[in-house]
Structures are given as C-alpha cells and as structure tokens.
Chain A
Amino acid sequence: MDNQTHVVIVYPHPDDESFGGAGIIKKFRQEGVPVTYLCGTLGEMGRNMGTPTFANRETLADIRKEELKDACEYLDIDYQYLGYRDKTIEFEKQEEVANHIKEVLETLQPSLVVTHYPEHGVHPDHNALGAATIEAVRLMDKADRPTVWASAITNDFEKVLGEPDIVYSIEDDFEYKLNAILKHKSQAEGMFEKMQDTSGEHQVFVDGLKNRLGKERFFTWKFED
C-alpha cells in the first residue's frame, strides 16, 4: 500500500471514484502521491435524475461532467474521460478497449492501478472495464506492470473469492467520503435528503452507509503469465 508514485483509478462512471475510493484517495493525497481518475463514460444513461428531478436524458451527461469536476477538485485528483457510452462497454471489442487503456497507462506510468474485479462488479460496465483494464496491464511487459487492485462489490464475493488482502477503513473520517459522494448531486440527492432528516432515521441511515462504504477493500491481482 505504501511507496506509491502515481495511482490511477479506472472505473466507468462519474461517482464510482467517490463510492469506491474516496478513502484510499485521501490517504494517497495526504502522502503527496498523485492520483488520476480514468472515467470510462459520462454516466449518461443513469436512471437517477436528481430528487426532485432536475436532469433529463439529454442534459444528464453535462450535469454529471460538472459533478465529477467538483468531486475531483474536492478529492484533489486529476481526471480524464475514456469516451465510452454508459452501459455499452461490454459490447465493445475488449481488445480495443484494453489497448486504449494500455496506451493511457503507458503515458501516466502508474505504480498502482485500481479497477473493478471482473464478474464481481454488479454493473456490466464495472465488469467489462475491470476486465479490459486488467487485460491492458497484462499486455505490458512483466517488468513494467503496475500493481493492480480489484474491488469486488457483489453481495456474495467473500464466499466466492475469500477475504480481500487490502482493507482500508475510512470509518473514522466517514464524513469526508460522504461529502465526495454528495458532489454527485444528481445521483446522491436522494441520499442527501435522508441525511437532512433529523429524526432517529438519520443515524440509522448513516450507520447503514458506513457499514456498506466505510471499508474500501481490494484484491491484489495475480497475473498468471
């Protein structure tokens, strides 16, 4: 986990970086390690339109771009888009996506790449981009390969894969992660409303979130060849 020189996170949607990585991002930034988010799509096919709705199918892309900009400013990281369309990555030729990512990684020269664990990402874009990212690193010369951390989020991943070897807790500073998530207003405003609730419900809700998001866990990917 220590001695990184550049961390690159490859996830498909604006908000995946905050839900999945706000904790480790904070840790790396505090150590002065640069972090870059490679965001696969604009999340333009998202179903959440704000609560109450303020986006529509056509405006959602630009709104989410602004939200990601805000989130990355807050997290103090760089970001780039890979230019795919939300919900379609699994239909692209994997080899093309992998080569594309490989090119970007060769420019950025990360020491660590974070992505979704293929088949354990729940969303088809998570699975497809995770698989393409791992393939991109596999295509590199062995000596040049960065470390890869893969995050699994299926309900049963521990049963299938065992315990992740990397566990980072942001529970003591959970507010930080929540604030990052809430930068994605169109996606998180429903959550935001529940946060404002001052009745007993509020704490129950926050505790539930903390349970689900308070620990960021990753499997260090083992390449066979």
Chain B
Amino acid sequence: MKPIEKVKVQEMLDGFTDKPVYIHLETTNGAYASHFDNVGVNVGAYIRNAQVTFTNAVIKGDISYRVGLKTELGWIYAEGVTDWEIYRDKDLLLAGHDLEGRLMVALQISEQPFK
C-alpha cells in the first residue's frame, strides 16, 4: 500500500456513491495484545461483505485520515487511515498501520464481494 493521496482517494469514493457496494471494515489491536504488550484487553471488530449504498463519502484529515460514508439510514466510519491501494483494478483498500507496520484499521469498498 502507499501513503494516502487525498484527492485520488476522494475521487475513488465518489465513484462508489449511489450504488450497492460491499464493505470490509475492521479494527484490531491484535490477538496477542494482552499476552505480550500488557495493554489489558484485546479489542477488535470486523464486518466483511456487508452490502450498503451510500449517498455521500468523504475523506478528511492529514497524516492520518478519517473516512465517513453516509448511508440512507446511518453511517460507516473509520479513523486512523494512513495508506491506500487500488486492488483488482477497482476495489478501494484503505488501511491504517502503526509504526511497526501492523494493521490497526481497514476500510475497503468494492462492487464485488470480497473473497
């Protein structure tokens, strides 16, 4: 992946509005957080291949970014996004990594279900 290019990501987000898309949304501090790092609790959540349609999608921030997707009835939101990549020609992968390159958050959008 490469560091966020805000304008290009915004263009991609705009291309996904007003049509059914599949979302992968994830956040994690790792399954070993309480074992090695002594941070107390393993925290994470993930949704894979939720189908939604959003009317509005925006990337905000600098260095680390926030992405909000407004759906008909609610919101999808990710914070701490640092990198992006176009996968399989048209899927948008967004992720946030810590200083050691470990994934902390991921938000991915595709017109096809993820594998």
Contact = CB atoms under 8 A, between A and B. Distances in A.
A57 B101 contact: no
A47 B108 contact: no
Contacts of A123: 31-32
A105 to B, nearest CB: 26
A56 B87 CA distance: 10
Contacts, number: 58
A34 interface: no
A124 B44 CA distance: 13
A190 B32 contact: no
A57 B93 contact: yes
Contacts of A59: 87
A181 B32 CA distance: 17
A155 B31 contact: no
Contacts of B109: none
A49 B31 contact: no
Given A53-B83, A122-B31, A123-B31, A190 B101 contact: yes
Given A49-B103, A51-B101, A56-B85, A124 B24 contact: no
A45 B46 contact: yes
B95 A57 contact: yes
Interface string A32-60: 00000000000001011111110011110
Interface string B81-115: 00101011001010101001111101010000011
Interface residues of A, number: 21
Nearest to B2: A53
A57 B106 contact: yes
A87 interface: yes
A173 to B, nearest CB: 25
B28 interface: yes
A59 B115 CA distance: 10
Nearest to A86: B31
Contacts of B1: 53, 56
A57 B114 CA distance: 10
A99 B68 CA distance: 44
A28 B97 CA distance: 40
Nearest to A51: B101
A122 B101 CA distance: 22
Given A47-B31, A58-B88, A190-B101, 20 more contacts: A45-B28, A47-B28, A47-B104, A48-B102, A49-B97, A49-B103, A52-B101, A53-B1, A53-B101, A56-B1, A56-B85, A57-B26, A57-B103, A58-B115, A61-B115, A87-B31, A122-B32, A125-B31, A155-B35, A190-B100
Interface of B: 1, 24, 26, 28, 30-32, 35, 46, 83, 85, 87-88, 91, 93, 95, 97, 100-104, 106, 108, 114-115
Interface of A: 45, 47-53, 56-59, 61, 87, 122-125, 154-155, 190
- What 6 pairs between A and B have smallest CB-CB spacing? A53-B101, A47-B102, A123-B31, A47-B30, A51-B101, A47-B103
14 contacts: A47-B102, A49-B103, A50-B101, A52-B101, A57-B93, A57-B95, A57-B106, A58-B87, A58-B93, A58-B108, A58-B114, A87-B31, A122-B35, A154-B35
